[in-house]
Homo-oligomer: A and B are copies of this chain.
Amino acid sequence: MAENGKRPIRLGMVGGGTGAFIGYVHRIASRLDGDFQLVAGALSSRAEVAKESGKNLGLADDRVYTDFAEMARAEAAREDGIEAVAIVTPNHMHFAPAKAFLEAGIHVICDKPLTSTIDDAYALRDIKPANGAKFLLTHNYTGYPLIRQARELVNSGALGKIRVVQVEYPQDWLAVEAGDENKQAAWRTDPSKSGAGGAIGDIGTHAYNLARYVTGLKTSAVSADLDAFVPGRKLDDNVHIMLRFEGGAKGMLWASQVAVGCENGLQLRVYGEKAGIEWRQDNPNYMWFTEFGKPKQLLTRGGAIDGTAAGAMGVRIPSGHPEGYLEAFATLYSQFAAVIRGDGAEFEALLPTLEDGVEGMEFIMAAVKSSQDDSRWTPLGR
């Protein structure tokens, strides 16, 4: 039960069977604030896995599906059917279920990137959801309170006109060839499941989305140099991109799965005419804020800071007691719950949308194209 006395929203899940990672994360996120209750799932396309997974999660037998399309139909027909569904499959399996559930009038919570192809992304954008079904893209890092505060600082003009944006997301887990037993690695390095981008789709889009989310700047073009360093790898595992934004700001984006010593080193730095901000995901409860000519200030999540309405949303416990990745993820879930219930107007502008997902796909495609074209500056979109 939610803390605010609201009935939990009935949730289904597509993907996320035994051994999956991100489905587990989505389930915790859905539970943490009590706003959702998982009641149905097409957790795997393999019947046995689906069944066992459903049992482990306490689903009723008749709500364990092996086919998402059937699930969409059946749940839409039930009086107590799911109101929302979380899609946590590999990229190439986002489009079809998203379409099915939206058209069935069921709200969709979809992992990123939006799809595996740009055509799918555009097609999804053109869908007509039934019953006003809504869409949430889980660019989960946008749920960190200090990222909300960073966005608000930019919006308020505290940084002045933005000049430089440095964003990076280095990891090292794919620095060597992953064995077949590594399910996470297997589909992420397979173009038929991931799409045209490897690191750029898996983590580069997170970095890109974060820069866009905080600064609000529109991208005019990218110049990219993508590499697959591990022998035999078919998709990029290191991404170097220069960014040009409308209005003249410039940026750099680095994403890597081969940066030995980096775990999930997502970092955003934004410099304007008047001030700069610096934030790291691996210690996300702190953010540097420096006004020109003044000492650096260490802002803390929910700490001693001036009126930041957006930042305050999603703070559960006092500053100095760390919240992390799961709380940020849960904030997306609970704020989307409010939107679904019709009492979350103040959150609508804060949650990543299908449109953000389309732009993420355009970013991937532009970067891949630029890299193939000797890093020529390439605009986003058709």
Contacts and interface: CB of A to CB of B under 8 A. Distances in A.
Contacts of A339: none
Copies in the complex: 4
Contacts of A168: 166
A290 interface: yes
Contact of A321 (B55, B56, B324, B375): B324
A175 B273 contact: yes
Contact of A264 (B2, B258, B320, B374): B320
Contact of A295 (B3, B164, B299): B299
A101 interface: no
Interface of A is mostly: loop
A172 B292 contact: yes
Contacts of A163: 227, 229, 238, 258
Given A260-B276, A325-B323, A225 B238 contact: no
A23 to B, nearest CB: 10
A25 interface: yes
Contacts of A225: 223, 242, 244, 250
A242 B239 CA distance: 11
Interface of A: 1-5, 7, 21, 24-25, 27-28, 31-34, 38, 55-59, 159, 163-164, 166, 168, 171-173, 175-176, 223, 225, 227, 229, 238, 240, 242, 244, 248, 250-252, 254, 256, 258-265, 269, 271-278, 281-285, 288-300, 303-305, 316-327, 374-377
